[in-house]
């Protein structure tokens, strides 16, 4: 399902997880991510500004892979898709959100951190799942162990990933792309420090090569 989108995410390799308080800063932030080599973002529904930010980014940069994160109910999923989100991510496995996305042909990457969660995704034909919270759930060792029973699955690990450990995740054969918020710190967004954000992204892209 949705192979082309997942291939694009894989090719970028890194998904910035964004929490934005002011939608007026969305275009500036997206421009910084693109300049930094990461034309992709998971804009989380942890703020009131998420929906409007997705709308603005989709309009200003139609090619950018903007998805919605922290989609913990169907209402958020509907809002995200209407705003232009190209994919839906959630921290956990919410069957109603996943089933709504599948029924509406919307790419969905639900969060999992146990084999039981994973089997819920498998039962629905999903091929890509978010591994969250990655570091405290066993990190790279957990991914290695999951590759045994679930060789057909790819994961997007997030949670506790940084410049220091991202390469160790990225080189796992069952990792589609790595995600995290360290590239898009709140104070840098608040201060419209677009060059600084672009620079952090560039460093992350270099670290990704290992
Ligand atoms: C997420 O939702 O993916 C996480 O909040 C990202 O985790 P991090 O802030 O540790 O990168």
Could you tell me if the CB of 69 is within 6 A of ligand 1? yes
Nearest protein CA to atom 2 of ligand 1, as residue: 91
Among 46, 112, 139, 179, which residue has the most ligand 1 atoms within 8 Å of its CB, making it the best to mutate? 179
Q: Is position 114 within any domain?
A: yes
Q: What is the structure's pLDDT at 210?
A: 75
Between the CA of 20 and the centroid of ligand 1 the distance, in Å, is 13
Buried-exposed string 48-64: b where 16+ CB fall within 10 A, e elsewhere: ebbbbbbbbbbeebeeb
Q: Is position 97 within any domain?
A: yes
Between the CA of 110 and the centroid of ligand 1 the distance, in Å, is 14
Predicted confidence (pLDDT) per residue in 118-129, tens digit = 999 999 999 999
Q: Is position 164 within any domain?
A: yes
Interface predicted TM-score of the whole assembly (ipTM), two decimals: 0.94
Sequential pLDDT tens for the chain (210 residues):
799 999 999 999 999 999 999 999 999 999 999 999 999 999 999 999 999 999 999 999 999 999 999 999 999 999 999 999 999 999 999 999 999 999 999 999 999 999 999 999 999 999 999 999 999 999 999 999 999 999 999 999 999 999 999 999 999 999 999 999 999 999 999 999 999 999 999 999 999 987
Q: Is position 210 within any domain?
A: no
DSSP H stretches of helix in 14-113: 26-35, 50-60, 74-83, 95-103
Atom of ligand 1 nearest to the CA of 180: 11
Catalytic, 19? Answer no
Total count of domains within the chain: 1
Q: What is the structure's pLDDT at 187?
A: 96
Q: Is position 30 within any domain?
A: yes
Could you tell me if the CB of 139 is within 6 A of ligand 1? no
Structure tokens of 164?
Answer: 């220091």
What's the rounded Cα separation, in Å, for the pair 130 and 18? 16
Q: 152 exposed, middle or buried (CB, 10 Å; 0-12, 13-18, 19+)?
A: exposed
DSSP code of 197?
H
Q: Is position 12 within any domain?
A: yes
Predicted confidence (pLDDT) per residue in 15-35, tens digit = 999 999 999 999 999 999 999
Catalytic, 135? Answer no
Nearest protein CA to atom 3 of ligand 1, as residue: 158
Q: What's the chain's average pLDDT?
A: 97
Q: What is the structure's pLDDT at 111?
A: 98
Nearest protein CA to atom 11 of ligand 1, as residue: 180
Q: What is the structure's pLDDT at 1?
A: 79
Phi, psi of 13 (to 5 degrees): 90, -20
Residue of 42, 52, 79, 86 marked active site = 42
Nearest protein CA to atom 5 of ligand 1, as residue: 159
Any idea what the CATH number is for the domain that residue 193 is in? 3.20.20.70
What is the extent of the structural domain holding 88? 3-205
Residue of 55, 79, 86, 130 marked active site = 130
Q: Is position 190 within any domain?
A: yes
Q: What is the structure's pLDDT at 106?
A: 98
Could you tell me if the CB of 16 is within 6 A of ligand 1? no
Q: Is position 184 within any domain?
A: yes
């Amino acid at each position: 399902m949705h192979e082309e989108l997942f291939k694009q995410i894989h090719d970028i390799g890194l998904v910035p997880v964004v929490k934005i308080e002011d939608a007026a800063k969305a275009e500036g932030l997206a421009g910084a991510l693109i300049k930094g080599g990461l034309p992709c973002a998971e804009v989380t529904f942890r703020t009131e500004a998420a929906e409007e930010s997705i709308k603005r980014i989709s309009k200003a940069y139609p090619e950018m892979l903007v998805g919605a994160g922290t989609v913990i109910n169907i209402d958020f999923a509907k809002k995200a898709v209407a705003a232009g989100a190209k994919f839906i991510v959630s921290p956990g496995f919410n069957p109603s959100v996943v089933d709504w996305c599948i029924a509406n042909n919307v790419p969905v990457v639900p969060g999992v951190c146990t084999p039981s969660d994973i089997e819920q995704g498998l039962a629905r034909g999903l091929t890509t799942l978010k591994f969250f919270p990655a570091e405290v759930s066993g990190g790279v060792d957990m991914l290695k162990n999951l590759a045994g029973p679930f060789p057909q699955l790819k994961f997007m690990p997030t949670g506790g990933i940084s410049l220091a450990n991202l390469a160790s995740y990225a080189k796992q054969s069952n990792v589609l792309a790595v995600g995290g918020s360290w590239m898009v710190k709140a104070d840098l967004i608040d201060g419209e420090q677009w060059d600084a954000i672009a620079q952090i992204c560039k460093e992350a892209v270099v670290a990704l090569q290992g």
